[in-house]
Chain A
Amino acid sequence: MADTIKLEVSRYSPETDAAPHFQGFEVPFRRDWVVLDALNYIKDKQDGSLTYRWSCRMGICGSCGMLVNGEPKLTCATFLADYAPSPIRVEPLRNFPVVRDLVIAMNDFMRKLQRMKPWLIRKEEKPVSEGEYLQTPAELEAYKQFSMCINCMLCYAACPVYGLDPLFSGPAAIALAQRYNLDSRDQGANDRLPVLSQHDAIWGCTFVGECTRVCPKHVDPAGAIQQYKLTAALDWVKSVVMPWGGK
């Protein structure tokens, strides 16, 4: 087993660089190290200016998403040993503007996510004294998969539609809208419908399916979008057949 492994890390300094370039680093090769450990080692011991996002190290915060050998990955869950002995390329997530080194600007995603109203909408809130909104295990099961999303944006980096059309709402935002639509406590499906049924939202998706493949939490955003296409189409049929209101 080799003692070290080479990392080729994308560097971009907005002050001095016109475009990103790769910089090589030799880091100790340890079987229990993930790519994030190697980046932390570089920052601690070799180059303190290396810039990247990370927080929890355990696949929950969704901060450390990067491209590892071109594939969108959570670097806290991507082991060096799976790539050794070849060098590992680490780049910022695809389809986003690069702020510095491995940090991308996520403003666009945050704006799109907010437009989906990803929170429980009630027509009328019941007073606290009446207790909580109860849910059966089956009702929880209906949306639980989509609620696992950690907003890591790997799905946006994998989605060629988002790369080509920056107006596309994108996989995670739609999956999270669906997460609330399917929640038995929520009554906001009709509020979300106008945003979701636009061309830039569900109908922009061509079902490449890459978002689902790269999702570290098995959310299946592609499935969520297709399922909502079905809902929106049925809703349209209902509005034509029963214009007086079948909702």
Chain B
Amino acid sequence: MKSAAAAPPYTLNHPRWYRKRVSTYWWLQRWEYLRFVLREISSVFIAWFVVLTLLQIYAVSQGPEAYDKFQNFLKNPLVLALNVVSFFFVVFHSITWFNLSARAMAIRVGGKRVPGFLISGPNFAAWLVISAVIAWLLLRG
């Protein structure tokens, strides 16, 4: 038997729990977490597109000269780069949003839950159709 001096101190029903701090970079440790953080950050780019659209509407209301100025602003390489990045984030945001909508809505018909693709599917279809109509309106010359 060990001598009393060498024995570890006895902890009487008062365990020393080990608590690990969450790393500041926890979101870099798994792809799933990074994907989530990117999804959340995408809202900043959505906000940027909203601001841009408001600026565009304002420029249109101020006449052709102001609109030309706005278009020149869009041609700035920095703005162009920001808008390309924003576009991908907005697409990512929309896809994840529609995919999640099926999980958040439990619609039951005749006691059975409607499968997810029947909820997200029409969302995607409406998105495509509306995008196509807008593209047609803008690009028909």
**Across the interface, which residues of B come within 8 angstroms of A209, CB to CB?**
32, 36, 100, 103
**Across the interface, which residues of B come within 8 angstroms of A137, CB to CB?**
111
Please tell me if B26 contacts chain A, counting CB pairs below 8 Å.
yes
Known: A208-B32, A223-B104. A98 touches B111 (CB 8 A): no
Please tell me if A128 contacts chain B, counting CB pairs below 8 Å.
no
**Across the interface, which residues of B come within 8 angstroms of A20, CB to CB?**
18
- Contact string against B for A residues 208-240, beta-carbon threshold 8 Å, 1 for contact and 0 otherwise: 111011000000101100110110000000000
**Across the interface, which residues of A come within 8 angstroms of B15, CB to CB?**
14, 99-100, 105
Distance A34 CA – B33 CA, assembled complex (angstroms): 27
Nearest A-chain residue to B101, judged by Cβ: A226
- Contact string against B for A residues 132-174, beta-carbon threshold 8 Å, 1 for contact and 0 otherwise: 0000111001100000000000000000100110000000000
Within 8 A of A (CB), among B93-141: 100, 103-106, 108, 110-113
The residue that A98 contacts in the complex, of B18, B103, B110, with Cβ under 8 A, is B18
Interface size class of B (residues with CB under 8 A): 20 to 34
**Residue among B20, B27, B110 with max Cβ neighbours from chain A (10 Å):** B20
**Across the interface, which residues of B come within 8 angstroms of A227, CB to CB?**
104-106
**Across the interface, which residues of B come within 8 angstroms of A17, CB to CB?**
18
The answer to whether A213 and B32 have CB atoms under 8 Å apart is yes
**Across the interface, which residues of A come within 8 angstroms of B16, CB to CB?**
14-15
Nearest B-chain residue to A97, judged by Cβ: B17
Please tell me if B63 contacts chain A, counting CB pairs below 8 Å.
no
**Across the interface, which residues of A come within 8 angstroms of B32, CB to CB?**
208-210, 213
Please tell me if B19 contacts chain A, counting CB pairs below 8 Å.
yes
Please tell me if B11 contacts chain A, counting CB pairs below 8 Å.
yes
Known: A99-B17, A160-B33, A208-B32. A230 touches B105 (CB 8 A): yes
Question: Closest CB of chain A to B75's CB: distance in Å?
Answer: 37
Distance A124 CA – B16 CA, assembled complex (angstroms): 46
**Across the interface, which residues of B come within 8 angstroms of A16, CB to CB?**
8
**Across the interface, which residues of B come within 8 angstroms of A229, CB to CB?**
104
Question: Closest CB of chain B to A159's CB: distance in Å?
Answer: 10
The residue that B111 contacts in the complex, of A70, A138, A222, with Cβ under 8 A, is A138
Distance A58 CA – B104 CA, assembled complex (angstroms): 31
Within 8 A of A (CB), among B1-59: 8-11, 15-20, 22, 26-27, 30, 32-33, 36, 40
The answer to whether B18 and A206 have CB atoms under 8 Å apart is no
Within 8 A of B (CB), among A154-209: 160, 163-164, 206-209
The answer to whether A15 and B8 have CB atoms under 8 Å apart is yes
Please tell me if A12 contacts chain B, counting CB pairs below 8 Å.
yes
Distance A15 CA – B14 CA, assembled complex (angstroms): 11
The answer to whether A206 and B36 have CB atoms under 8 Å apart is yes
**Across the interface, which residues of A come within 8 angstroms of B17, CB to CB?**
14, 97-99, 105
A-B contact pairs, 6 of them (CB 8 A): A15-B16, A138-B108, A164-B22, A207-B100, A210-B36, A220-B103
